[in-house]
A and B are shown apart, each in its own frame.
Chain A
Amino acid sequence: MEGAAQRLESLRKQIRKLQAAPRTYLAVLKTGVAAFDSWMPGGGLPMGQVVELSGEAASGRTSIALRGIAAATREKRLAAYVDGPGELYPPVAAGMGVDLERLLIVRPKAPRQLVWTAVQLARSGAFACIVLDLTHTGLQLSLVESKKLSDAAFQGGSCTLLLAASRSQASSARVRLEVTASDPQTLRLEALRSSQGRGRQILIPVAALLPGEAGWPLFSTHSERTEEPPEIKRIKLVWERDGGGIDRNRPGRDAALPSLRGTVGI
């Protein structure tokens, strides 16, 4: 009887343990790009904060955001992409390791609904990573909206990434990064605001960020080409003479051949 009671108690303890820890703690989203993760203050994209990524249209911001989403879905969390311009290409997201079944894509019709949607998603706490893409929308966050987004991210504990075409005039994002495609092979990231101060820079190879063939190097068209083909170096062959004459240097050709009479029986 006692044994049964003890067994029951141990089972109850196991149930309590299972119920008490339904989730694993996640502090940062590691993008998988070693250079970027080690450069970021916490070792990746921070949870519960807004990270602003600004830069030109093809500077690499979206790829960084997709790497963050892939990290979230790898941890079996949900992610959302509030796609203002409606330009996200899901096949590329899948190529970066994003589980498309866990990625919610929201494309509001009116630009003014973008921030509201992102705030709702961030505040809910149901999504680990939320991307608000304001590129090509002509929208710039006001300080109030930015503050609202930061509060929602903090409340929901989600990593909120803000993609903007240019540096916003007023932003309450804790981390602000500017991305520039400095040359065909590298991206330059500059911290406009972070816990480690501003002005820090890092160069990341494009191949580390873009998936598959998209990361392969381009062929430069910028260098000046000459119309004439480059000169081919000719190799001069020199025979060293050792005084042995032609018989020594070219054996088998000019030397006297042995008689075959003995072998053929003539």
Chain B
Amino acid sequence: MRVLFLHLPRFPIQRRVAEMPSLAGKPIALSQETRGHRQVAFASTSALTAGVRPGMTIAAATALVPSLREFSFQLDAERKALVSLGEGLLGIAPAFQLAAPDGLWLDASAAPLCQGEEGLCRRALEIADSFGYRGKAVVASQLFTARALAREGAVRSQVIGTSESAKALSVLPLACLDSSPAAVEAIKSLGLSTLGEVASLPTGAMVARMGLEGLRIHRLCRGEDDAPLVPAPITPVFEEQIDLDWPAESVEPLLFALKTTLDRLGARLCSRRKAVVKLAICFRLSSAREQKVELVLAQPSSRPPLLLDLARHRIADLTFAAPVGGIGIKVEECCEDRAHQQVLGDAPEGDAVLDVVLSKISSALGPQSLFAAELDPFHRPERAYHPKPFRPPPSDRGLLRGTAEQQRAGDPDPNQLERPSRFFERPALLQMELGAQGRVVAARLSGKRRKVLAMAGPERLCGEWWEENPYDREYYRVHFEGLGQVWIFRDQRDGKFYLQGFFD
């Protein structure tokens, strides 16, 4: 089995810088508490150059570099960030295994899809770059070989052949071993300094001195690691969190944090061919309260720029009761992302504009507020159409222009029945004045008495007697003085007149 190890040197520091670019090039340290003392766990390059070392107390490090910025190291957060990256890499590898806190293994069996293992390395590094991380990638046949060479190797990407593991490992120092410090010290005491020297020892000698651990180390050094790749479970929930180091009081830092988070989320969604339908953004306020915003997309999408644009629009209208300390984004509803095949001469920016405006209106007014209509074959006027999601037919641009024209005819129906352009779902009761012989003379409309000037009808509509609410109506088109033509009906069941619409 071939595996790729993606090593991200000092990953927790890289993550901090990716989330807050203002920290780039500055001395920063991540600390963790050990025996009541805060000690440096990771330090940035500038801090290391100034003499700060992992294991040093924060007090000593600050004395050495007064401008040192300290943050707390949280393994869980690092692990989550690595899982996000791993899910983002699922587009090029079928599975991944975490190697917290600075890397992960990928199943390299899909390398032929990336033009070979070199191509796979290149693609993995590109995706990591898009997340804001720099790393090194090595493809090998064993987990240990790939990781050791990625951590200690000098080149950015490397492919080790199936039978070349021992040779490639031979030059590496003993520090590559993931054994206990006591075991490493025991090997050093023998005067050995590289993995190649350990591999050259007889197996029996290693077992005699160090038992099973010696056998394991010997096998690792000879490139005979048989540990399998254990795929990390893929979470069905798409969720991302980000903590702001300073509570944000303006929109800019929030937008930056949102961009970082949405980029990660978008990469995860893309790798699993999913698109967002509904997104919830939770702003954690410094007053321990939360403010939640929901985004409903008119057309499912996983593109981070679109999601950020929608979020920006919603934030612009928000008023926060307190500064924002953190942001959580959760995909509440998603669907399969059907790729859009573009044709020659296509203008995808036009479609993007439509997506943005539809999503903006949908999230502001609610998804039920915008729709397209579809006609139904019912005689009852109220049931003549029903709303459906607005999905305009694909634009017939480029080479396809003109072909769709023959398929779709938009000519008016010459046999259109007498129906008003303005229609009341709930007919309004009309006070009609009837003259001699039951002739309609006038009616009270819009607070005025309107004389009937002309009329046509009746058109009798009845039916649905088998349902709870049958209808039996006689419709008339009536021209009222000073108003125009209206559509009224006399309900045969109660004998009253109702206003159904205007021929506006």
Contact = CB atoms under 8 A, between A and B. Distances in A.
A56 B482 contact: yes
Given A89-B501, A91-B375, A218-B455, A22 B347 contact: yes
B338 interface: no
Interface stretch (B30-38, B206-214, B463-471, B483-491): B483-491
Nearest to B453: A222
B360 A63 contact: no
B344 A15 contact: yes
A57 B484 contact: yes
B345 A22 contact: yes
Nearest to A94: B375
B420 interface: yes
A254 interface: no
B418 to A, nearest CB: 4
Interface residues of B, number: 75
Contacts of B446: 57
Contacts, number: 218
A100 B372 contact: yes
A120 B485 contact: no
B421 A62 contact: yes
Nearest to B416: A212
A249 interface: no
A214 interface: yes
A126 B357 CA distance: 8
A96 B412 contact: yes
A91 B384 CA distance: 7
Interface in B391-421: 391-393, 395-399, 404-405, 408, 410-421
B361 A121 contact: yes
B356 interface: yes
A206 B372 contact: no
A108 interface: yes
B372 A88 contact: no
Contact of A58 (B345, B416, B423, B504): B504
A99 interface: yes
B451 A222 contact: yes
Nearest to A14: B344
Interface string B233-252: 00000000000000000000
Contact of B357 (A101, A120, A219): A120
The DSSP consensus for interface residues of chain A is mixed
A191 to B, nearest CB: 19
A228 to B, nearest CB: 15
B502 interface: yes
Contacts of B357: 120-121, 123-124, 126
A183 B482 CA distance: 9
B256 interface: no
Contacts of B504: 57-63, 135
Given A15-B344, A91-B375, A94-B413, A23 B503 contact: no
A56 B398 CA distance: 45
Interface stretch (B62-70, B84-92, B136-144, B363-371): B363-371
B419 A108 contact: no
B412 A97 contact: yes
A10 interface: no
Contacts of A86: 425
Nearest to A216: B456
B425 to A, nearest CB: 8
A134 to B, nearest CB: 13
Contacts of A89: 384-385, 419-423, 501
Contacts of B358: 104
Given A89-B419, A120-B361, A126-B354, 15 more contacts: A23-B347, A56-B484, A60-B504, A76-B404, A89-B384, A95-B419, A101-B391, A102-B393, A105-B373, A124-B356, A184-B479, A216-B456, A218-B485, A219-B456, A221-B440
Interface of A: 15, 18-19, 22-23, 56-63, 66, 70, 73-74, 76, 78, 85-109, 113, 116-117, 120-121, 123-126, 135, 181, 183-184, 206, 210-214, 216-222
6 closest cross-chain pairs (CB), A and B: A212-B416, A58-B484, A181-B484, A95-B416, A90-B373, A218-B454
Interface of B: 344-347, 350, 353-354, 356-358, 360-361, 364-366, 369-375, 384-385, 387, 390-393, 395-399, 404-405, 408, 410-425, 439-440, 446, 451-456, 477-480, 482-486, 501-504
25 contacts: A22-B347, A57-B484, A57-B502, A59-B484, A76-B405, A85-B422, A91-B375, A93-B373, A94-B413, A95-B413, A97-B412, A101-B391, A105-B373, A108-B365, A109-B366, A120-B360, A123-B357, A124-B357, A135-B504, A183-B453, A184-B454, A184-B479, A218-B456, A219-B456, A221-B454
